[in-house]
Structure formats: structure tokens, C-alpha cells
Amino acid sequence: MSDPYLSPSNVMVLVVRGDGRILAVRHNATSKTSANQVTVVGGKLEAGEFLDAGALRELAEETGIHVAADDLEFGQVVHYLDSDGVRVIGVVFVAYRWQGEPRNAEPHKHEQILWIDPGDPPADCHPYTRQVLENFQAGRRYGNITVPASGGGS
């Protein structure tokens, strides 16, 4: 039986280029939750990690770029029902400045990195990411998201 007070958290970073495009990754076929789909950079917190530290770690692990802690801005909070029935809180940060050239630093997980238009994400964009981008475009700081096991969502 799961702990009724457990609320797992994940973090995302919207790295925004001067033309408004956002850095994203295309997952390979081995991904359990987003196989062959595009998502923004992010992941789960590690034990003892604070949200901002986790976001910066995920960014460096996935893309090889670094953002100074002072350049990481709060973007939004999302509360979603994961495909396994767990309710997860996601915190989205935004960064307009970074150091390094983005690259696919996890080729065993991702097919590629790409810059996407948040107002017109690719057709293979994961529904969760699509909602995060829609919130970003609309200036919403909070949103509820449900993503069924099939990867579809609302």
C-alpha cells in the first residue's frame, strides 16, 4: 500500500532561445513513458534534492549546458495524474541565459535535441509537455494535467 501523503515531484526547464524557441529532447524507443516523443528537459528529483538543484542537474545531464542558479526563474506548477495513477507535482523553471552549446548528452535515452516553437509544438510532442508549453504561452502559473498510460492526454 502506498503512503497516502506521498507527492512525488519532478522538475522541468524551459530554455528559451532569443527567437522564442524552447530546447527539447526526442526520446528513443526505450523510454517507458514517452517513447519516440518530444519533451522538454527535466526529470525526477533525487533523494535530498531541492527543486532548483534538480532542475539544474537534469539540464546539465540531458543537454550539457549550465544555467547559473540566479538565471533560473520560476515558471509554473503543474499537478498531474501520472499513467500509473500517482499524483505528481511538477515545477517548471525558465532560463533565458546559459553557458555551453546544447548537445544530446544522453544518447542512450534521447535520439536528439531540438528547438521547438512553444505555440506550435511538433505532432509527436508528449501531451504533458504540450500542456506545459500551452501554460507557458498563456502565462499560466498553474495547471492540472492527466496523461493516460497510452501517452494521450488532456
- For residue 153, being part of any structural domain is answered with no
The verdict on residue 2 lying in a domain is no
- Residue numbers of the domain that contains 113: 9-146
Provide mean pLDDT across the span 12-23: 98
70: in domain:
yes
66 phi, psi to nearest 5 deg:
-125, 140
User: Domain tally for the chain?
Assistant: 1
Q: Could you tell me if residue 62 is inside a domain? A: yes
Average confidence (pLDDT) over 77-95? 89
What is the pLDDT confidence band of residue 85, given thresholds at 50, 70 and 90? confident
User: Do residues 106 and 62 lie in contact, with contact meaning Cβ atoms separated by under 8 Å?
Assistant: yes
Query: In which band, very low, low, confident or very high, does the pLDDT at 3 lie, cut at 50, 70 and 90?
Result: low
Residue 150 confidence (pLDDT): 46
The CA–CA distances, whole Å, from 41 to 1, 5, 33, 68, 73 equal 31, 27, 14, 16, 15
CATH number for the domain including 67?
A: 3.90.79.10
pTM: 0.90
Residue 135 lies in a domain: yes
**Residue 154 placed within a domain:** no
